[in-house]
Amino acid sequence: MRVVTMNIWARHGDWDARRTLLRDTLQQLSPDIVALQETVVTDRYDQVVDLLGTDLHVTHQWRRESDGSGMSLASRWPFVEVVEQDFLVTDRVDPREFAGSLLAARVEAPPPYGALWFASPKPSFRLGHERERELQAVGMAARLEALVRSRGGHVVVAGDFDATPDSASMRFWAGLQSLDGTSVAYRDAWSTRRPDQPGHTFKPDNPLVTGGNWPTENGRRIDYVWVRCGPHGPTLRIDDCDLLLDEPRDGVWASDHCGVVAELTAP
């Protein structure tokens, strides 16, 4: 099972050049499940279908920004159920932004996988909002736990978390610390397969990063693929994990974020 997550950066910058690179790369990669952030969806345009084609099933976050930006999920298999929930946990979370929401969908993958929840959390992105990200992580993880208790299935969580691995919210997802009296355990695909590599997905050598709103960016790993753990480890084996579009091609950067692609198999 090939999983991809990437922040598309809407239609900013040289969209024509970025569109060609993104579309060609994503379609050649032929992923099974895809989580995309900052996708533009309007009455007249669907950026996800534009980039992925029509072979995948697609669902979109309902609450979007004024330009249509939000989260989207795509799957090779039909969606059985879609869940969206907002986590506007403090008055510092702006309801006009799509950040602060969980988008999750259940698919019935073929054997040996079976039922699978594919979820994309988008917590607050602001640097001073780790408190909000902690509260959102607790609420989003609890929602996923409730779905598993009632419906069963594997859980794969992928997206732009806007937090580094050493932050409290990411340590919570990894099962390394509790928050608000609760804990969960997910396995990080990147640290599982490439524990000695930084894996930055928001990079200072990307001019779309340092030439925009983040001129002093030092490089961070903020995009992840996670697999929920059972009593003895992740319920899907993480075979590989790599960065996607982490370098320019013919002078074109695909987005201000790099993507993450992970290969999973049933144990």
| Residue range 25-60, pLDDT digits in tens | 999 999 999 999 999 999 999 999 999 999 999 999
Residue 267's pLDDT is: 86
Phi, then psi, of 190 in degrees rounded to 5? -65, -50
Q: What share of the chain is helix, strand, coil (3-state, %, to 5)?
A: 20, 35, 45
Residue 212's pLDDT is: 86
- Joined tokens for residue 41: 């969806």
Residue 213's pLDDT is: 87
**Nearest CA to 83 among 178, 157, 193?**
157
Residue 32's pLDDT is: 98
- Per CATH, the homologous superfamily of domain 2-265 is Endonuclease/exonuclease/phosphatase (3.60.10.10)
Residue ranges in the chain modelled with pLDDT below 70: none
Helices (H), 160-231: 168-173, 189-193, 207-210
Q: Where are the domains of the chain?
A: 2-265
For residue 32, give the DSSP letter: S
Q: Report how far residue 68's alpha carbon sits from residue 40's, in angstroms, rounded to the nearest whole number.
A: 5
| Residue range 70-94, pLDDT digits in tens | 999 999 999 999 999 999 999 999 9
Helices (H), the chain: 15-29, 47-52, 130-151, 168-173, 189-193, 207-210
For residue 89, give the DSSP letter: -
H/E element holding 35?
strand 33-40
DSSP-assigned beta bridge partners for residue 3 = 33, 262
Q: Report how far residue 64's alpha carbon sits from residue 57's, in angstroms, rounded to the nearest whole number.
A: 20
Residue 16's pLDDT is: 98
Q: CA torsion, points 254, 2, 125, 245, in degrees to nearest 10?
A: -20
